Amino acid sequence: MMDMIPNLIYIKIDHINNVDIQSTIRYMMKNIDRNCNKHLRLSCIHLPTVDYELLKKLKKIIENEELTLDYSIKCVNACIYLQWK
Protein backbone atom coordinates (compact mmCIF):
# COMPACT_ATOMS: atom_id res chain seq x y z
CA MET A 1 0.00 0.00 0.00
CA MET A 2 2.73 2.45 0.94
CA ASP A 3 4.44 2.19 -2.43
CA MET A 4 1.21 3.24 -4.18
CA ILE A 5 1.15 6.58 -2.34
CA PRO A 6 4.77 7.78 -2.21
CA ASN A 7 3.94 11.27 -0.88
CA LEU A 8 1.87 10.07 2.05
CA ILE A 9 2.68 12.03 5.23
CA TYR A 10 0.13 10.64 7.70
CA ILE A 11 -1.66 7.33 7.93
CA LYS A 12 -4.64 6.56 10.16
CA ILE A 13 -5.94 3.05 10.60
CA ASP A 14 -9.31 2.73 12.29
CA HIS A 15 -10.62 -0.21 14.27
CA ILE A 16 -8.24 -3.03 13.52
CA ASN A 17 -9.23 -6.20 15.29
CA ASN A 18 -7.42 -9.51 15.39
CA VAL A 19 -4.28 -7.98 13.93
CA ASP A 20 -0.81 -8.31 15.36
CA ILE A 21 -0.10 -4.63 15.95
CA GLN A 22 3.55 -5.31 16.72
CA SER A 23 4.10 -6.95 13.33
CA THR A 24 2.15 -4.20 11.60
CA ILE A 25 4.33 -1.46 13.13
CA ARG A 26 7.49 -3.44 12.38
CA TYR A 27 6.48 -3.93 8.73
CA MET A 28 5.52 -0.31 8.25
CA MET A 29 8.71 1.06 9.81
CA LYS A 30 10.98 -1.31 7.88
CA ASN A 31 9.36 -0.51 4.55
CA ILE A 32 9.23 3.28 4.67
CA ASP A 33 12.67 3.81 3.16
CA ARG A 34 12.58 0.75 0.93
CA ASN A 35 9.44 1.90 -0.80
CA CYS A 36 10.70 5.44 -1.38
CA ASN A 37 8.16 6.87 1.00
CA LYS A 38 10.36 9.27 2.91
CA HIS A 39 7.48 11.67 3.59
CA LEU A 40 5.50 9.42 5.92
CA ARG A 41 6.19 10.60 9.48
CA LEU A 42 3.08 9.88 11.54
CA SER A 43 0.79 6.93 12.06
CA CYS A 44 -2.36 6.72 14.11
CA ILE A 45 -3.78 3.29 14.85
CA HIS A 46 -7.07 2.86 16.66
CA LEU A 47 -7.31 -0.27 18.77
CA PRO A 48 -10.18 -1.63 20.83
CA THR A 49 -7.91 -1.68 23.89
CA VAL A 50 -4.54 -0.07 24.46
CA ASP A 51 -2.48 -0.47 27.59
CA TYR A 52 0.89 0.59 28.89
CA GLU A 53 2.36 -2.88 28.27
CA LEU A 54 1.61 -2.65 24.56
CA LEU A 55 3.34 0.72 24.35
CA LYS A 56 6.37 -0.75 26.15
CA LYS A 57 6.48 -3.67 23.70
CA LEU A 58 6.31 -1.35 20.71
CA LYS A 59 9.10 0.83 22.13
CA LYS A 60 11.22 -2.26 22.68
CA ILE A 61 10.70 -3.44 19.09
CA ILE A 62 11.56 -0.02 17.67
CA GLU A 63 14.69 0.32 19.76
CA ASN A 64 15.97 -3.28 19.61
CA GLU A 65 15.52 -3.52 15.85
CA GLU A 66 16.71 0.07 15.34
CA LEU A 67 13.70 0.88 13.20
CA THR A 68 14.18 4.57 13.91
CA LEU A 69 16.22 6.57 16.39
CA ASP A 70 14.15 9.71 16.77
CA TYR A 71 10.51 8.95 17.54
CA SER A 72 7.68 9.47 19.99
CA ILE A 73 4.86 7.15 20.84
CA LYS A 74 1.78 7.90 22.90
CA CYS A 75 -1.76 6.78 23.46
CA VAL A 76 -4.73 9.12 23.27
CA ASN A 77 -8.35 7.91 23.34
CA ALA A 78 -7.54 4.31 22.35
CA CYS A 79 -5.28 5.47 19.50
CA ILE A 80 -1.57 4.85 19.30
CA TYR A 81 0.27 7.78 17.76
CA LEU A 82 3.72 6.99 16.45
CA GLN A 83 5.74 9.86 15.04
CA TRP A 84 9.32 9.76 13.76
CA LYS A 85 11.84 11.90 11.88
**What is the pLDDT tens value at each position of the chain, 85 positions in all?**
555 566 666 777 776 666 788 888 888 787 775 555 667 788 888 887 778 888 899 999 999 988 888 899 999 888 889 988 7
Spell out the domain ranges in the chain.
21-84
User: What 3-state DSSP class applies to 44?
Assistant: strand
**Cα separation, 15 vs 85, whole angstroms:** 26
Q: Which of 32, 36, 29 is nearest to 73 (CA)?
A: 29
Taken as a whole, the chain contains a residue count of 85
Report the side by side order of strands in the sheet with 42-46: 10-13, 42-46, 79-84, 71-76
Q: What is the pLDDT of residue 28?
A: 79
